[in-house]
Amino acid sequence: MFPREREEGQTFIVDLVLGLDTRPAAASDDLAKTVHYGIVAEEVVAVVEGEPVDLIETLAERIADQCLKHEGVQEVEVVVHKPDAPITVPFDDVTITITRSRV
């Protein structure tokens, strides 16, 4: 991260794919038997808005770690988009994608 990015802030867009067994929740129609995506979203926003990092790789890792704290989540794919990256050539988006699991 460049000093200007720390001073002015920057935009990140995060996509998540959570791997979990949804059958118990689907069978019972019970939110308590799955992962509440509203809570996960709030936690991810807190990570993004939290302690600054220099690399989007670090941010992606922190997000994955937070998602895996939910007992039902066995695997997570995190995509961090940085659409306003300070690159001097034309581009649409800069992303990093990681997949992490309990195993």
Q: Sheet with 95-101: list strands edge to edge.
A: 13-19, 75-81, 95-101
Tokens 């992490």, located at residue: 100
- How far apart, in whole angstroms, are the C-alpha atoms of residue 87 and residue 95? 13
Catalytic residue among 82, 87, 88, 92: 82
CB of 78 within 8 A of CB of 16?
Answer: yes
Q: Is 33 a catalytic residue?
A: no
List, in sequence order, every residue forming a beta bridge with 14; answer none if it has no partner. Answer: 80
- Return the active site residues: 82
